[in-house]
A and B are shown apart, each in its own frame.
Chain A
Amino acid sequence: MHIRDGILAPEVCLAAGAISLGAITYSLRRLRFDLEDRAVPLTGMMAAIVFAGQMVNFPLFGLPVSGHLLGGVLAAVMLGPWAGCLAISMVLIVQAVLFSDGGLMSLGANILNMAVVGAWGGYAVYATIRRILGNGAAATVSAAVIAAWLSVLGAAALFCAEFLCSSRSAGVDPRGVLSLMVLYHSLIGVGEALITGAVLSFVLARRGDLVPTPNAPGSVGTIGRFAATGLMAALAVAAIVAPFKSESPDGLDAAAQDLKFDKLEVERPALVLDDYAIPVAESAWWPALPVSLAGIVGTLVVFIAAVVLAGITRRNVVPIRVADGSHGN
Protein backbone atom coordinates (compact mmCIF):
# COMPACT_ATOMS: atom_id res chain seq x y z
CA MET A 1 0.00 0.00 0.00
CA HIS A 2 2.79 2.41 0.81
CA ILE A 3 4.44 3.94 -2.23
CA ARG A 4 8.20 3.47 -2.18
CA ASP A 5 10.71 6.02 -3.30
CA GLY A 6 11.71 5.64 -6.92
CA ILE A 7 8.31 4.52 -8.17
CA LEU A 8 6.93 7.99 -8.78
CA ALA A 9 8.83 10.72 -10.59
CA PRO A 10 10.31 13.46 -8.38
CA GLU A 11 8.10 16.16 -9.86
CA VAL A 12 4.97 14.11 -9.16
CA CYS A 13 6.15 13.62 -5.57
CA LEU A 14 6.71 17.35 -5.29
CA ALA A 15 3.22 18.19 -6.56
CA ALA A 16 1.58 15.60 -4.29
CA GLY A 17 3.67 16.89 -1.39
CA ALA A 18 2.48 20.45 -1.97
CA ILE A 19 -1.17 19.33 -2.00
CA SER A 20 -0.68 17.26 1.15
CA LEU A 21 1.03 20.15 2.92
CA GLY A 22 -1.95 22.33 2.11
CA ALA A 23 -4.34 19.65 3.36
CA ILE A 24 -2.42 19.23 6.62
CA THR A 25 -2.29 22.97 7.22
CA TYR A 26 -6.00 23.30 6.57
CA SER A 27 -6.77 20.32 8.83
CA LEU A 28 -4.71 21.85 11.61
CA ARG A 29 -6.64 25.12 11.36
CA ARG A 30 -10.03 23.40 11.37
CA LEU A 31 -8.96 21.11 14.20
CA ARG A 32 -8.29 23.93 16.64
CA PHE A 33 -11.79 25.12 15.85
CA ASP A 34 -13.47 21.72 16.25
CA LEU A 35 -11.74 20.03 19.15
CA GLU A 36 -10.25 23.07 20.89
CA ASP A 37 -7.76 22.13 23.59
CA ARG A 38 -8.48 18.39 23.30
CA ALA A 39 -7.05 18.31 19.80
CA VAL A 40 -3.47 17.42 20.68
CA PRO A 41 -4.01 14.47 23.05
CA LEU A 42 -6.96 13.04 21.10
CA THR A 43 -5.35 13.22 17.68
CA GLY A 44 -2.04 11.90 18.96
CA MET A 45 -3.87 9.03 20.60
CA MET A 46 -5.87 8.29 17.45
CA ALA A 47 -2.66 8.11 15.43
CA ALA A 48 -1.19 5.72 17.99
CA ILE A 49 -4.36 3.59 17.87
CA VAL A 50 -4.24 3.30 14.10
CA PHE A 51 -0.55 2.52 14.26
CA ALA A 52 -0.98 -0.15 16.92
CA GLY A 53 -4.10 -1.47 15.16
CA GLN A 54 -2.02 -2.04 12.04
CA MET A 55 0.08 -4.50 14.01
CA VAL A 56 -2.91 -6.86 14.24
CA ASN A 57 -2.62 -9.24 11.30
CA PHE A 58 -5.64 -10.60 9.50
CA PRO A 59 -5.16 -13.92 7.70
CA LEU A 60 -6.01 -13.72 4.00
CA PHE A 61 -8.02 -16.85 3.22
CA GLY A 62 -5.11 -19.24 3.42
CA LEU A 63 -2.67 -17.07 1.46
CA PRO A 64 0.83 -16.74 2.91
CA VAL A 65 0.45 -12.96 3.31
CA SER A 66 -1.78 -11.14 5.75
CA GLY A 67 -3.65 -7.88 5.68
CA HIS A 68 -4.17 -5.17 8.24
CA LEU A 69 -6.31 -2.16 9.03
CA LEU A 70 -5.56 1.09 7.19
CA GLY A 71 -7.77 3.15 9.43
CA GLY A 72 -8.50 6.33 7.47
CA VAL A 73 -12.26 6.01 7.65
CA LEU A 74 -12.19 4.64 11.20
CA ALA A 75 -10.18 7.64 12.44
CA ALA A 76 -12.41 10.08 10.56
CA VAL A 77 -15.58 8.48 11.93
CA MET A 78 -14.29 8.66 15.50
CA LEU A 79 -12.79 12.16 15.45
CA GLY A 80 -14.00 13.87 12.28
CA PRO A 81 -12.19 14.40 8.97
CA TRP A 82 -9.63 16.95 10.15
CA ALA A 83 -8.27 14.96 13.06
CA GLY A 84 -8.56 11.78 11.00
CA CYS A 85 -6.48 13.23 8.19
CA LEU A 86 -3.83 14.42 10.66
CA ALA A 87 -3.77 11.09 12.50
CA ILE A 88 -3.20 9.08 9.33
CA SER A 89 -0.61 11.59 8.11
CA MET A 90 1.31 11.19 11.35
CA VAL A 91 1.15 7.42 11.11
CA LEU A 92 2.62 7.67 7.62
CA ILE A 93 5.32 10.10 8.75
CA VAL A 94 6.38 7.86 11.62
CA GLN A 95 6.32 4.76 9.43
CA ALA A 96 8.52 6.47 6.84
CA VAL A 97 11.03 7.99 9.23
CA LEU A 98 11.14 5.34 11.93
CA PHE A 99 10.57 2.11 10.02
CA SER A 100 11.48 2.96 6.44
CA ASP A 101 8.02 1.74 5.53
CA GLY A 102 7.04 3.89 2.55
CA GLY A 103 9.34 6.40 0.95
CA LEU A 104 10.54 9.74 2.26
CA MET A 105 10.22 11.63 -0.98
CA SER A 106 6.93 9.96 -1.79
CA LEU A 107 5.58 10.75 1.68
CA GLY A 108 3.46 13.52 0.16
CA ALA A 109 1.90 11.11 -2.32
CA ASN A 110 1.24 8.59 0.45
CA ILE A 111 -0.43 11.24 2.59
CA LEU A 112 -2.52 12.39 -0.34
CA ASN A 113 -3.65 8.86 -1.24
CA MET A 114 -4.30 7.51 2.21
CA ALA A 115 -4.80 10.39 4.65
CA VAL A 116 -6.54 12.95 2.46
CA VAL A 117 -8.58 10.52 0.35
CA GLY A 118 -9.03 8.13 3.27
CA ALA A 119 -10.12 10.62 5.91
CA TRP A 120 -11.57 13.56 3.96
CA GLY A 121 -13.03 11.57 1.09
CA GLY A 122 -14.06 8.65 3.27
CA TYR A 123 -15.71 10.99 5.74
CA ALA A 124 -17.60 12.80 2.99
CA VAL A 125 -19.04 9.50 1.79
CA TYR A 126 -19.80 8.44 5.36
CA ALA A 127 -21.55 11.69 6.23
CA THR A 128 -23.59 11.67 3.04
CA ILE A 129 -24.78 8.09 3.53
CA ARG A 130 -25.60 8.77 7.17
CA ARG A 131 -27.64 11.77 6.16
CA ILE A 132 -29.66 9.48 3.91
CA LEU A 133 -29.92 6.49 6.27
CA GLY A 134 -30.31 8.38 9.53
CA ASN A 135 -28.42 8.30 12.78
CA GLY A 136 -29.02 4.75 13.97
CA ALA A 137 -26.16 2.45 14.87
CA ALA A 138 -26.89 0.18 11.91
CA ALA A 139 -26.78 3.16 9.53
CA THR A 140 -23.46 4.25 11.01
CA VAL A 141 -21.87 0.88 10.40
CA SER A 142 -23.14 0.47 6.84
CA ALA A 143 -22.05 4.01 5.97
CA ALA A 144 -18.56 3.36 7.34
CA VAL A 145 -18.28 0.03 5.51
CA ILE A 146 -19.13 1.60 2.16
CA ALA A 147 -16.91 4.61 2.82
CA ALA A 148 -13.96 2.35 3.68
CA TRP A 149 -14.36 0.37 0.46
CA LEU A 150 -14.62 3.54 -1.64
CA SER A 151 -11.65 5.14 0.11
CA VAL A 152 -9.35 2.26 -0.78
CA LEU A 153 -10.50 2.23 -4.40
CA GLY A 154 -10.13 6.00 -4.52
CA ALA A 155 -6.58 5.72 -3.25
CA ALA A 156 -5.85 3.07 -5.89
CA ALA A 157 -7.25 5.29 -8.64
CA LEU A 158 -5.21 8.23 -7.43
CA PHE A 159 -2.11 6.10 -7.41
CA CYS A 160 -2.86 5.08 -10.99
CA ALA A 161 -3.09 8.74 -11.98
CA GLU A 162 0.18 9.57 -10.24
CA PHE A 163 1.85 6.58 -11.81
CA LEU A 164 0.61 7.51 -15.26
CA CYS A 165 2.01 11.02 -14.82
CA SER A 166 5.34 9.53 -13.73
CA SER A 167 5.70 6.93 -16.45
CA ARG A 168 4.50 9.07 -19.33
CA SER A 169 8.00 10.29 -20.06
CA ALA A 170 9.52 6.81 -19.83
CA GLY A 171 7.53 5.72 -22.85
CA VAL A 172 6.36 2.44 -21.38
CA ASP A 173 2.92 0.98 -21.16
CA PRO A 174 1.88 0.89 -17.51
CA ARG A 175 -1.21 -1.26 -18.00
CA GLY A 176 0.32 -4.27 -16.26
CA VAL A 177 1.12 -2.27 -13.13
CA LEU A 178 -2.29 -0.65 -13.06
CA SER A 179 -4.17 -3.92 -13.39
CA LEU A 180 -2.05 -5.44 -10.66
CA MET A 181 -2.67 -2.49 -8.35
CA VAL A 182 -6.43 -2.39 -8.88
CA LEU A 183 -6.76 -6.14 -8.50
CA TYR A 184 -4.78 -6.03 -5.30
CA HIS A 185 -6.64 -3.03 -3.93
CA SER A 186 -10.09 -4.42 -4.51
CA LEU A 187 -9.03 -7.23 -2.18
CA ILE A 188 -7.55 -4.77 0.32
CA GLY A 189 -10.68 -2.65 0.07
CA VAL A 190 -12.94 -5.54 1.02
CA GLY A 191 -10.68 -6.31 3.99
CA GLU A 192 -10.60 -2.68 5.07
CA ALA A 193 -14.39 -2.44 4.81
CA LEU A 194 -14.90 -5.59 6.88
CA ILE A 195 -12.43 -4.57 9.59
CA THR A 196 -13.73 -0.99 9.81
CA GLY A 197 -17.30 -2.22 10.06
CA ALA A 198 -16.53 -4.84 12.69
CA VAL A 199 -14.46 -2.50 14.86
CA LEU A 200 -17.07 0.23 14.66
CA SER A 201 -19.84 -2.22 15.44
CA PHE A 202 -17.92 -3.29 18.55
CA VAL A 203 -17.35 0.30 19.66
CA LEU A 204 -21.00 1.26 19.07
CA ALA A 205 -22.23 -1.69 21.12
CA ARG A 206 -20.17 -0.58 24.11
CA ARG A 207 -19.60 3.16 23.94
CA GLY A 208 -21.93 4.56 21.31
CA ASP A 209 -21.41 8.01 22.78
CA LEU A 210 -17.83 8.04 21.50
CA VAL A 211 -18.99 8.12 17.88
CA PRO A 212 -20.07 11.68 17.04
CA THR A 213 -22.94 12.62 14.76
CA PRO A 214 -21.49 13.97 11.54
CA ASN A 215 -24.00 16.72 10.88
CA ALA A 216 -22.83 19.01 13.65
CA PRO A 217 -22.39 22.70 12.80
CA GLY A 218 -18.89 23.61 11.75
CA SER A 219 -18.35 20.42 9.79
CA VAL A 220 -18.19 20.18 6.04
CA GLY A 221 -20.87 22.06 4.12
CA THR A 222 -23.46 20.14 2.14
CA ILE A 223 -22.11 21.19 -1.24
CA GLY A 224 -18.55 20.30 -0.33
CA ARG A 225 -19.69 16.96 1.01
CA PHE A 226 -21.64 16.06 -2.09
CA ALA A 227 -18.81 17.20 -4.32
CA ALA A 228 -16.31 15.08 -2.40
CA THR A 229 -18.69 12.09 -2.42
CA GLY A 230 -19.18 12.36 -6.15
CA LEU A 231 -15.46 12.63 -6.66
CA MET A 232 -14.81 9.56 -4.52
CA ALA A 233 -17.41 7.52 -6.40
CA ALA A 234 -15.96 8.66 -9.72
CA LEU A 235 -12.47 7.71 -8.58
CA ALA A 236 -13.64 4.29 -7.47
CA VAL A 237 -15.44 3.66 -10.76
CA ALA A 238 -12.37 4.88 -12.63
CA ALA A 239 -10.21 2.41 -10.72
CA ILE A 240 -12.36 -0.51 -11.81
CA VAL A 241 -13.09 0.64 -15.32
CA ALA A 242 -9.72 2.14 -16.27
CA PRO A 243 -7.81 -1.05 -17.14
CA PHE A 244 -10.85 -2.38 -18.96
CA LYS A 245 -11.29 0.73 -21.06
CA SER A 246 -7.64 1.03 -21.91
CA GLU A 247 -7.60 -2.54 -23.15
CA SER A 248 -10.13 -1.99 -25.90
CA PRO A 249 -9.18 0.03 -28.96
CA ASP A 250 -10.01 3.70 -28.65
CA GLY A 251 -13.09 5.17 -30.28
CA LEU A 252 -11.51 5.88 -33.63
CA ASP A 253 -10.00 2.43 -33.96
CA ALA A 254 -13.25 0.78 -32.92
CA ALA A 255 -15.17 2.78 -35.46
CA ALA A 256 -12.62 1.95 -38.11
CA GLN A 257 -12.92 -1.73 -37.34
CA ASP A 258 -16.70 -1.60 -37.28
CA LEU A 259 -16.87 0.05 -40.67
CA LYS A 260 -14.19 -2.23 -42.07
CA PHE A 261 -12.06 0.80 -42.83
CA ASP A 262 -9.10 -0.96 -41.35
CA LYS A 263 -9.17 -3.37 -44.28
CA LEU A 264 -8.72 -0.47 -46.64
CA GLU A 265 -5.79 1.10 -44.90
CA VAL A 266 -2.71 -0.92 -45.49
CA GLU A 267 -0.73 0.21 -42.49
CA ARG A 268 -3.64 0.45 -40.12
CA PRO A 269 -3.87 -3.19 -38.95
CA ALA A 270 -0.16 -3.28 -38.27
CA LEU A 271 -0.51 -0.16 -36.19
CA VAL A 272 -3.45 -1.57 -34.25
CA LEU A 273 -1.56 -4.76 -33.65
CA ASP A 274 1.47 -2.89 -32.51
CA ASP A 275 -0.59 -0.88 -30.08
CA TYR A 276 -2.67 -3.56 -28.53
CA ALA A 277 -0.94 -6.88 -29.01
CA ILE A 278 0.43 -8.61 -25.96
CA PRO A 279 3.00 -11.41 -26.46
CA VAL A 280 0.67 -14.13 -25.34
CA ALA A 281 -1.88 -13.67 -28.05
CA GLU A 282 -5.01 -14.90 -26.28
CA SER A 283 -4.31 -12.95 -23.17
CA ALA A 284 -5.09 -9.56 -24.66
CA TRP A 285 -7.91 -9.23 -22.17
CA TRP A 286 -6.25 -10.87 -19.19
CA PRO A 287 -5.86 -7.91 -16.89
CA ALA A 288 -9.24 -6.45 -17.77
CA LEU A 289 -11.52 -9.34 -16.95
CA PRO A 290 -10.17 -10.20 -13.49
CA VAL A 291 -10.04 -6.53 -12.59
CA SER A 292 -13.65 -5.92 -13.52
CA LEU A 293 -14.68 -9.15 -11.87
CA ALA A 294 -12.77 -8.19 -8.73
CA GLY A 295 -14.53 -4.85 -8.75
CA ILE A 296 -17.97 -6.36 -9.10
CA VAL A 297 -17.40 -9.17 -6.59
CA GLY A 298 -15.81 -6.70 -4.17
CA THR A 299 -18.76 -4.35 -4.42
CA LEU A 300 -21.18 -7.19 -3.79
CA VAL A 301 -19.22 -8.47 -0.80
CA VAL A 302 -19.01 -4.99 0.67
CA PHE A 303 -22.72 -4.38 0.36
CA ILE A 304 -23.52 -7.76 1.90
CA ALA A 305 -21.06 -7.00 4.69
CA ALA A 306 -22.70 -3.62 5.24
CA VAL A 307 -26.11 -5.23 5.64
CA VAL A 308 -24.90 -8.11 7.84
CA LEU A 309 -22.75 -5.95 10.11
CA ALA A 310 -25.55 -3.43 10.40
CA GLY A 311 -27.87 -6.25 11.48
CA ILE A 312 -25.40 -7.48 14.07
CA THR A 313 -24.93 -3.96 15.39
CA ARG A 314 -28.64 -3.36 15.70
CA ARG A 315 -28.91 -6.52 17.78
CA ASN A 316 -25.90 -5.74 19.96
CA VAL A 317 -26.23 -2.06 20.52
CA VAL A 318 -27.95 -2.41 23.88
CA PRO A 319 -25.06 -1.66 26.22
CA ILE A 320 -23.91 -4.90 27.78
CA ARG A 321 -21.38 -5.39 30.49
CA VAL A 322 -18.60 -7.67 29.37
CA ALA A 323 -15.76 -9.13 31.32
CA ASP A 324 -13.22 -7.81 28.87
CA GLY A 325 -10.19 -7.93 31.11
CA SER A 326 -10.16 -4.17 31.55
CA HIS A 327 -8.35 -3.01 34.63
CA GLY A 328 -11.11 -0.56 35.35
CA ASN A 329 -8.76 2.38 35.68
Chain B
Amino acid sequence: MGTSGIGSDTGSHSICHALPAGMKLLLTLGIILVAGLIPLEHWPAQGLLLALVFVGLSLAGVTMRYLVRRLALFLPLLLVFGLSVPMARSNDAAWSWTLSLWLRCTVSFMAGLWLVHVLPFRDLLTTLRYWHFPPALIAMLGFMYRYTFILWDELRRLRNARAARDFGGGPWWRVWSINSQVIGLLLLRAMERAERTHRAMLARGWDGSIRFLDGKDAG
Protein backbone atom coordinates (compact mmCIF):
# COMPACT_ATOMS: atom_id res chain seq x y z
CA MET B 1 0.00 0.00 0.00
CA GLY B 2 2.72 2.47 0.87
CA THR B 3 6.36 2.64 1.64
CA SER B 4 5.71 2.53 5.35
CA GLY B 5 4.76 -0.74 6.95
CA ILE B 6 3.22 0.92 10.00
CA GLY B 7 -0.11 -0.51 10.97
CA SER B 8 -0.28 -2.87 8.07
CA ASP B 9 -0.15 -6.59 8.55
CA THR B 10 3.53 -7.20 9.07
CA GLY B 11 3.18 -10.89 8.52
CA SER B 12 4.04 -11.86 12.06
CA HIS B 13 1.68 -14.45 13.47
CA SER B 14 2.22 -14.78 17.17
CA ILE B 15 -0.29 -16.11 19.65
CA CYS B 16 -1.38 -12.51 20.29
CA HIS B 17 -2.03 -11.81 16.61
CA ALA B 18 -4.35 -14.80 16.51
CA LEU B 19 -6.80 -13.31 19.02
CA PRO B 20 -10.00 -11.83 17.60
CA ALA B 21 -9.62 -8.11 16.90
CA GLY B 22 -12.48 -7.08 19.17
CA MET B 23 -10.99 -9.02 22.04
CA LYS B 24 -7.63 -7.28 21.53
CA LEU B 25 -9.31 -3.89 21.74
CA LEU B 26 -11.38 -4.76 24.81
CA LEU B 27 -8.42 -6.38 26.53
CA THR B 28 -6.28 -3.29 26.06
CA LEU B 29 -9.03 -0.97 27.18
CA GLY B 30 -9.64 -3.20 30.19
CA ILE B 31 -5.99 -3.11 31.23
CA ILE B 32 -5.86 0.67 30.86
CA LEU B 33 -9.06 1.02 32.87
CA VAL B 34 -7.80 -1.26 35.65
CA ALA B 35 -4.47 0.59 35.71
CA GLY B 36 -6.39 3.84 36.10
CA LEU B 37 -8.46 2.52 38.99
CA ILE B 38 -5.73 0.91 41.13
CA PRO B 39 -4.77 3.28 43.97
CA LEU B 40 -1.14 3.74 44.93
CA GLU B 41 -1.45 1.67 48.11
CA HIS B 42 -1.85 -1.36 45.90
CA TRP B 43 1.26 -0.72 43.88
CA PRO B 44 2.17 -4.44 43.76
CA ALA B 45 -0.99 -4.96 41.71
CA GLN B 46 0.15 -2.20 39.37
CA GLY B 47 3.54 -3.90 39.10
CA LEU B 48 1.83 -7.18 38.34
CA LEU B 49 -0.12 -5.48 35.56
CA LEU B 50 3.11 -4.04 34.19
CA ALA B 51 4.67 -7.51 34.18
CA LEU B 52 1.57 -8.89 32.44
CA VAL B 53 1.74 -6.25 29.72
CA PHE B 54 5.45 -6.91 29.34
CA VAL B 55 4.80 -10.63 28.88
CA GLY B 56 2.15 -9.73 26.31
CA LEU B 57 4.63 -7.55 24.45
CA SER B 58 7.26 -10.27 24.33
CA LEU B 59 4.66 -12.82 23.22
CA ALA B 60 3.64 -10.49 20.41
CA GLY B 61 7.25 -10.39 19.24
CA VAL B 62 8.03 -6.77 20.11
CA THR B 63 11.79 -6.36 20.15
CA MET B 64 13.52 -4.84 23.15
CA ARG B 65 15.06 -2.20 20.93
CA TYR B 66 11.69 -0.98 19.68
CA LEU B 67 10.31 -0.87 23.20
CA VAL B 68 13.26 1.08 24.56
CA ARG B 69 13.09 3.53 21.68
CA ARG B 70 9.40 4.19 22.18
CA LEU B 71 9.81 4.51 25.94
CA ALA B 72 12.74 6.89 25.48
CA LEU B 73 10.46 9.21 23.53
CA PHE B 74 7.63 8.85 26.01
CA LEU B 75 9.23 8.87 29.46
CA PRO B 76 10.90 12.33 29.51
CA LEU B 77 7.59 14.10 28.92
CA LEU B 78 5.95 11.99 31.58
CA LEU B 79 8.77 12.70 34.03
CA VAL B 80 8.44 16.46 33.57
CA PHE B 81 4.67 16.32 33.79
CA GLY B 82 4.70 14.21 36.94
CA LEU B 83 7.37 16.30 38.64
CA SER B 84 5.51 19.56 38.18
CA VAL B 85 3.17 18.81 41.09
CA PRO B 86 5.79 18.11 43.80
CA MET B 87 7.87 20.97 42.42
CA ALA B 88 5.10 23.46 43.09
CA ARG B 89 4.51 22.14 46.58
CA SER B 90 6.38 19.20 47.90
CA ASN B 91 4.68 16.92 50.39
CA ASP B 92 3.96 13.23 50.76
CA ALA B 93 0.64 13.39 48.97
CA ALA B 94 2.20 15.11 45.97
CA TRP B 95 5.02 12.59 45.71
CA SER B 96 2.75 9.58 45.99
CA TRP B 97 0.48 11.16 43.39
CA THR B 98 3.44 11.54 41.03
CA LEU B 99 4.61 8.00 41.65
CA SER B 100 1.20 6.53 40.97
CA LEU B 101 0.86 8.71 37.84
CA TRP B 102 4.15 7.40 36.48
CA LEU B 103 3.16 3.78 37.08
CA ARG B 104 -0.33 4.23 35.63
CA CYS B 105 0.85 6.02 32.51
CA THR B 106 3.65 3.55 31.81
CA VAL B 107 1.32 0.56 32.09
CA SER B 108 -1.24 2.24 29.83
CA PHE B 109 1.37 3.28 27.31
CA MET B 110 2.82 -0.22 27.06
CA ALA B 111 -0.66 -1.69 26.72
CA GLY B 112 -1.27 0.75 23.88
CA LEU B 113 1.99 -0.33 22.23
CA TRP B 114 0.87 -3.93 22.42
CA LEU B 115 -2.37 -3.08 20.64
CA VAL B 116 -0.55 -1.10 17.97
CA HIS B 117 1.65 -4.07 17.36
CA VAL B 118 -1.01 -6.78 17.14
CA LEU B 119 -3.98 -5.00 15.54
CA PRO B 120 -3.82 -4.33 11.80
CA PHE B 121 -5.82 -1.28 10.75
CA ARG B 122 -8.04 -3.33 8.45
CA ASP B 123 -9.13 -5.48 11.39
CA LEU B 124 -9.92 -2.37 13.39
CA LEU B 125 -12.28 -1.16 10.67
CA THR B 126 -13.96 -4.55 10.47
CA THR B 127 -14.41 -4.58 14.23
CA LEU B 128 -15.83 -1.07 14.30
CA ARG B 129 -18.31 -2.09 11.63
CA TYR B 130 -19.22 -5.16 13.62
CA TRP B 131 -19.85 -2.89 16.62
CA HIS B 132 -22.24 -0.81 14.48
CA PHE B 133 -20.20 2.37 14.26
CA PRO B 134 -21.61 4.78 11.65
CA PRO B 135 -20.68 3.39 8.21
CA ALA B 136 -19.78 6.85 6.92
CA LEU B 137 -17.19 7.27 9.65
CA ILE B 138 -15.65 3.88 8.87
CA ALA B 139 -15.56 4.66 5.17
CA MET B 140 -13.84 7.98 5.92
CA LEU B 141 -11.31 6.24 8.14
CA GLY B 142 -10.59 3.81 5.34
CA PHE B 143 -10.15 6.68 2.89
CA MET B 144 -7.92 8.52 5.28
CA TYR B 145 -5.72 5.51 5.83
CA ARG B 146 -5.39 5.01 2.09
CA TYR B 147 -4.63 8.67 1.37
CA THR B 148 -2.18 9.06 4.24
CA PHE B 149 0.48 6.89 2.66
CA ILE B 150 -0.01 8.61 -0.69
CA LEU B 151 0.39 12.00 0.92
CA TRP B 152 3.46 10.90 2.83
CA ASP B 153 5.08 9.97 -0.46
CA GLU B 154 4.00 13.30 -1.90
CA LEU B 155 5.46 15.05 1.12
CA ARG B 156 8.73 13.22 0.68
CA ARG B 157 8.92 14.37 -2.93
CA LEU B 158 8.23 17.97 -1.89
CA ARG B 159 10.92 17.78 0.77
CA ASN B 160 13.42 16.33 -1.63
CA ALA B 161 12.68 19.08 -4.12
CA ARG B 162 13.11 21.68 -1.40
CA ALA B 163 16.32 20.18 -0.06
CA ALA B 164 17.75 20.10 -3.56
CA ARG B 165 17.14 23.82 -3.92
CA ASP B 166 17.84 25.48 -0.56
CA PHE B 167 20.32 23.11 1.08
CA GLY B 168 18.13 23.02 4.19
CA GLY B 169 19.52 26.18 5.73
CA GLY B 170 18.32 29.58 6.75
CA PRO B 171 17.07 31.30 9.88
CA TRP B 172 14.04 29.91 11.64
CA TRP B 173 11.48 32.29 10.12
CA ARG B 174 12.61 31.25 6.65
CA VAL B 175 12.28 27.58 7.55
CA TRP B 176 8.83 28.32 8.96
CA SER B 177 7.74 30.12 5.84
CA ILE B 178 9.03 27.38 3.55
CA ASN B 179 7.48 24.64 5.67
CA SER B 180 4.14 26.42 5.62
CA GLN B 181 4.35 26.63 1.84
CA VAL B 182 5.09 22.90 1.70
CA ILE B 183 1.96 22.20 3.74
CA GLY B 184 -0.03 24.62 1.60
CA LEU B 185 1.14 22.96 -1.58
CA LEU B 186 0.34 19.54 -0.14
CA LEU B 187 -3.12 20.82 0.75
CA LEU B 188 -3.75 22.16 -2.76
CA ARG B 189 -2.60 19.01 -4.49
CA ALA B 190 -4.53 16.79 -2.08
CA MET B 191 -7.75 18.75 -2.46
CA GLU B 192 -7.46 18.55 -6.21
CA ARG B 193 -6.79 14.85 -5.88
CA ALA B 194 -9.89 14.46 -3.69
CA GLU B 195 -11.97 16.23 -6.35
CA ARG B 196 -10.62 13.86 -9.00
CA THR B 197 -11.28 10.87 -6.78
CA HIS B 198 -14.82 12.06 -6.23
CA ARG B 199 -15.40 12.40 -9.96
CA ALA B 200 -13.97 8.94 -10.52
CA MET B 201 -16.29 7.61 -7.82
CA LEU B 202 -19.26 9.28 -9.51
CA ALA B 203 -18.25 7.71 -12.79
CA ARG B 204 -18.43 4.34 -11.08
CA GLY B 205 -21.90 4.87 -9.70
CA TRP B 206 -21.23 6.46 -6.29
CA ASP B 207 -24.47 7.79 -4.84
CA GLY B 208 -23.36 8.70 -1.33
CA SER B 209 -24.34 5.43 0.29
CA ILE B 210 -21.64 3.19 1.64
CA ARG B 211 -21.45 -0.46 0.70
CA PHE B 212 -19.03 -2.91 2.17
CA LEU B 213 -17.66 -6.05 0.69
CA ASP B 214 -18.08 -8.98 2.99
CA GLY B 215 -15.24 -10.32 5.04
CA LYS B 216 -12.01 -8.51 5.70
CA ASP B 217 -12.00 -6.15 2.74
CA ALA B 218 -13.96 -3.39 4.46
CA GLY B 219 -10.96 -1.09 4.57
Interface residues of A (CB under 8 A from B): 4-7, 9-10, 13, 24-25, 28, 31-32, 36-49, 51-53, 55-59, 61-62, 69, 74, 78, 86-87, 90-91, 93-94, 96-100, 103-105, 167, 170-177, 179-180, 194-195, 198-203, 206-207, 210, 277-279, 287, 324-326
Contacts and interface: CB of A to CB of B under 8 A. Distances in A.
Nearest to A51: B148
Given A53-B187, A210-B191, A97 B116 contact: yes
A70 B112 CA distance: 22
B186 A104 contact: no
Contacts of A174: 85
B101 interface: yes
Given A52-B148, A94-B141, A172-B94, 16 more contacts: A10-B33, A31-B136, A44-B146, A45-B147, A51-B148, A61-B172, A74-B187, A90-B137, A97-B119, A104-B29, A105-B32, A167-B97, A175-B89, A180-B81, A325-B157, A325-B158
Contact of A5 (B108, B152, B157): B108
27 contacts: A5-B109, A6-B101, A6-B108, A10-B33, A10-B37, A28-B136, A32-B136, A39-B140, A41-B197, A43-B143, A45-B147, A45-B197, A46-B194, A48-B144, A49-B186, A49-B191, A59-B176, A62-B172, A90-B141, A94-B141, A104-B115, A105-B32, A170-B97, A172-B85, A198-B184, A201-B184, A279-B89
B180 A41 contact: no
Contacts of B218: none
Contact of A42 (B81, B154, B198): B198
Contact of B36 (A62, A105, A201, A287): A105
B179 A58 contact: yes
Contact of B143 (A25, A44, A62, A105): A44
Contacts of B94: 172-173
B7 A100 contact: no
B58 interface: no
B65 to A, nearest CB: 16
B54 interface: no
Contacts of B150: 48
Contact of A100 (B37, B116, B134, B187): B116
A53 B182 CA distance: 9
A105 B34 CA distance: 11
A24 B137 contact: yes
B204 to A, nearest CB: 12
Interface string B167-205: 000001001110111111111111101100110011000
Contacts of B121: 94, 97-98
Interface in B123-167: 124, 134, 136-137, 139-148, 150-152, 154-155, 157-158, 161
Nearest to A174: B85
Contacts of A48: 143-144, 147-148, 150-151, 190
B155 A56 contact: yes
Contacts of B88: 173, 175-176, 179, 278, 287
Which of B124, B151, B172, B180 neighbours the largest number of chain A CB atoms within 10 Å of its CB?
B180
B208 interface: yes
Contacts of A62: 172
A156 B126 CA distance: 34
Given A40-B139, A62-B172, A69 B148 contact: no
B76 to A, nearest CB: 10
A180 B154 CA distance: 37
